[in-house]
Amino acid sequence: MNRNELVSIIRKKKSVLCVGLDTDLEKIPKHLLSEPDPALAFNKAIIDATKDFTVCYKINTAFYEAQGIDGWRTMQQTLEYIPKDIFTIADAKRGDIGNTSEQYAKTFFHTYPFDSVTVAPYMGKDSVSPFLQFENKWAIVLGLTSNAGSADFELQQCGDELLYEKVLKTVSTWGTPENLMFVIGATRKEQLKHVREMLPEHFFLIPGVGAQGGDVPTVCENTLNKDGGILINVSRAVIYASTGEDFAEAAHKAAKAYQQQMAEYL
């Protein structure tokens, strides 16, 4: 999916909602455990319930890889079930030497045809570049994350700037706003505006809203640009809005509520 198509969806739905399908078999409603593939049944119900309000689904591959070959099959079938006019993210956080990254890119752009994949930039340009060679595909590079451990490296001084600032500035020269996004955590309220000023055109994938404490108004007021320019990921607050048999209805209500908040700014 190219940038114009993504922007068109955002404008049509008046939404920048990304629903994270971090499907944990220990957290899904118990009545689904009798299904042949409980995770797939859960995912399909969530997608059906939220697709009208969502511009993006993010599949955290770890929750599927942990289940072995069955999990990979579930991930593939989930990806195939997502409507084609909705942006998809493989949240895989890959990044290795060039020839290895080439194989990771083929995995998530060809074998499993996601629109984008999250990438770790620690090993430098040759580990990221292979993901930028595919037409209408995106690399979403870790920039400023919301976990406590981000202080160990990202927020450390690196010359006359912080390390995350150096990463954002440097990586932004490797691609363009047409194929390169950045992960910017919503709980870093004091930095959201600063990062947008640094990178006025790029899309940001913004986790941390909902269960982690971030909120839609703060994110929108500090990071929206003329194209929307953000994808606000919400996982637990939508998919686990209820753990009962009404889970899909609860997810529908939660997704709609987030979309309505976003619409005020779009």
Whether the pLDDT of residue 144 is over 70: the answer is yes
Phi (first) and psi of residue 144, to 5 degrees: -125, 110
Average pLDDT taken over every residue of the chain:
95
What DSSP state is assigned to residue 264?
Answer: T
Helix ranges (H only) for the chain are 3-13, 38-50, 62-65, 69-81, 98-106, 125-128, 150-153, 163-171, 189-198, 216-223, 236-239, 247-263
**Catalytic residue status for 93:** yes
pLDDT above 90 covers a percentage of the chain that reads 91
| Domain formed by 3-263, architecture | Alpha-Beta Barrel (3.20)
- Reported confidence tier of residue 151, pLDDT bands at 50, 70, 90: confident
Please give the pLDDT value at position 79: 98
3-class secondary-structure state, position 17: strand
Annotated catalytic residue within 14, 30, 84, 93: 93
Q: Distance between CA 193 and CA 118 in Å, rounded?
A: 22
Alpha-carbon torsion, ordered 46, 25, 246, 252, to 10 deg? -20
Instruction: Tabulate helix, strand, coil % of the chain (nearest 5).
Output: 45, 20, 35
